[in-house]
């Protein structure tokens, strides 16, 4: 097959500026090539990357894009400009994958490939605009259900396929004996991620701990901005809480997972969190995750079986989280027992297996 993948206007591929979707499709495209398919990958231009090159068999085309803006209106305008640029650079293909808002509307040339809309966020009202698409592919079952509810007439075009993890992500390591134990959060430093709640909950702990918050606070990387970052720092104990900033190198990120006693992902984004890649990445390093009670995590994490969940909708969520953290940190044997279960679950999402599912879905559309 000839496959074209078009990323959004704001982050490059490879994901040297971060980005979960960019990371996922960077891995998938290379696996598609390894299996004998031809792939062109369009993404945002970056000064450290050439405008055109072939890496691991994937042909990269990089177009002028934008830093991530604050306002939704500006974001949509910049996405439209970028999508028009991308539409003029599309090669002939069998399948055209995109997660941009506007590209499915501006590309109507069938020679560019069957339109495969990758839905990595909860749908708003745009799904009805994509009636001509061959597939509406959601990253989790809750997102797929939301798409079907919005456009029941297109239910036959909707499917759920998960995000994969690269084989290099997987590693079985013993539970660290670090004192004090290390709590790790990895992701965007943004209000919707529940970090204020996490910092306040940690302040209630009577046991020793170190909290590491790894991720970007800058708005151009999708963070909450300078004011939010400084407000978190003001809440946090400098002796107990470490802000590392963003880490984009895969080996350095894995080292953070390996050093953690417990991975904590307290997201509050009821309609913004659609898969939750970071907890699954931690599980692939044989680390146990504690997550909020969002539906997206239920595709792979089951409370009391391979991980833990706390009720972020409780009357006092800070106290609820603090109680769960305290109990888990007091039970290192329990964390050690759950680690193999977490790892076994993560193995179900390994790149070759998930890539095969995507390719089978592509082929079904061509058939």
C-alpha distances (whole Å) from 232 to each of 27, 161, 191, 267, 360 are 33, 35, 10, 15, 45
146-164 average pLDDT score: 95
6-33 average pLDDT score: 93
Between residues 194 and 70, which one has the greater pLDDT?
Answer: 194
Sheet holding 158-160, edge to edge: 52-55, 58-63, 38-44, 2-6, 95-98, 114-119, 135-138, 158-160
Say what the pLDDT of residue 272 is: 75
Q: What is the 3-state secondary structure (H, E, C) of the chain?
A: CEEEEECCCCCCCCCCCCCHHHHHHHHHHHHHHHCCCEEEEEEECCCCCCCEEEECCEEEEEECCCCCCCCHHHHHHHHHHHHHHHHHCCCCCCEEEECCCCHHHHCCCHHHCEEEEEECCCCCCCHHHHCCCCEEEECCHHHHHHHHHHCHHHHHHEEECCCCECHHHCCCCCCCCCCCCEEEEECCCCHHHCHHHHHHHHHCCCCCCEEEEECCCCHHHCCCCHHHHHHHHHHCCCCCEEEEECCCCHHHHHHHHHHCCEEEECCCCCCCCCCCHHHHHHHHCCCCEEEECCHHHHHCCCECCCEEEECCCCCCHHHHHHHHHHHHHCCHHHHHHHHHHHHHHHHCCEHHHHHHHHHHHHHHHHC
Classify strands 58-63 and 52-55 as parallel, antiparallel or unpaired: antiparallel
Say what the pLDDT of residue 226 is: 95
Domains of the chain: 2-163+350-366 (3.40.50.2000), 167-347 (3.40.50.2000)
- pLDDT for residue 333 is more than 80: yes
Summarised one tens digit per residue, pLDDT across range 227-237 is 999 999 999 99
Summarised one tens digit per residue, pLDDT across range 20-59 is 899 999 999 999 999 999 999 999 999 999 999 999 999 9
- pLDDT for residue 153 is more than 90: yes
214-224 average pLDDT score: 90
Average pLDDT for the chain? 94
C-alpha distances (whole Å) from 4 to each of 33, 55, 156, 310, 359 are 12, 15, 23, 40, 13
The rounded distance, in Å, linking the Cα atoms of 11 and 247 is 15
Q: Is-contact 108 131, C-beta < 8 A?
A: no
Sheet holding 182-186, edge to edge: 241-245, 210-214, 182-186, 262-265, 289-292, 308-310
Say what the pLDDT of residue 273 is: 79
108-128 average pLDDT score: 92
Say what the pLDDT of residue 104 is: 95
- pLDDT for residue 242 is more than 80: yes
- pLDDT for residue 296 is more than 80: yes
- pLDDT for residue 164 is more than 90: yes
**Bond from prior residue into 180 cis (ω within 30 degrees of 0):** yes
Say what the pLDDT of residue 270 is: 81
For the record, the structure tokens of 148 come out as 């079907």
Say what the pLDDT of residue 175 is: 85
């Amino acid at each position: 097959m000839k496959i074209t993948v078009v990323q959004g206007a704001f982050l490059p591929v490879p994901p040297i500026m971060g980005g979960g979707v960019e990371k996922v499709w960077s891995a998938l495209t290379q696996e598609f090539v390894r299996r004998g398919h031809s792939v062109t990958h369009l993404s945002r231009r970056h000064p450290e990357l050439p405008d055109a090159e072939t890496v691991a068999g994937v042909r990269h085309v990089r177009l002028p894009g934008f830093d991530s803006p604050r306002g939704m209106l500006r974001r949509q305008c910049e996405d439209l400009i970028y999508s028009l640029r991308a539409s003029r650079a599309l090669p002939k293909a069998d399948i055209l994958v995109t997660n941009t808002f506007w590209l499915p509307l501006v590309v109507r040339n069938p020679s560019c490939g069957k339109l495969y809309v990758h839905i990595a966020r909860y749908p708003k009202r745009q799904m009805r605009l994509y009636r001509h698409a061959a597939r509406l592919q959601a990253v989790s079952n809750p997102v797929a259900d939301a798409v079907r509810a919005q456009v029941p007439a297109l239910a036959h075009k909707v499917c759920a396929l998960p995000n994969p993890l690269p084989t290099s992500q997987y590693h079985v390591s013993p539970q660290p004996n670090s004192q004090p134990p290390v709590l790790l959060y990895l992701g965007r430093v943004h209000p919707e991620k529940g970090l204020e709640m996490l910092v306040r909950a940690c302040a209630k702990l009577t046991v020793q701990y170190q909290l590491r918050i790894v991720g970007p606070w800058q708005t151009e990387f999708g963070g909450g901005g300078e004011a939010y970052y400084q407000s978190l720092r003001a809440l946090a104990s400098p002796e107990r809480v470490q802000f590392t900033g963003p880490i984009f190198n895969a080996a350095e990120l894995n080292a953070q997972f390996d050093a953690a006693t417990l991975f904590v992902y307290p997201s509050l984004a009821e309609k913004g969190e659609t898969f939750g890649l970071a907890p699954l990445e931690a599980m692939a390093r044989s680390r146990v995750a504690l997550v909020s009670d969002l539906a997206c995590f239920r595709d792979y994490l089951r409370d009391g079986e391979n991980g833990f969940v706390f009720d972020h909708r409780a009357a006092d969520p800070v106290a609820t989280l603090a109680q769960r953290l305290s109990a888990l940190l007091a039970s290192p044997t329990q964390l050690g027992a759950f680690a193999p279960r977490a790892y076994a679950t993560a193995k179900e999402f390994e790149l070759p297996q998930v890539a095969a599912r995507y390719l089978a879905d592509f082929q079904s559309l061509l058939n």
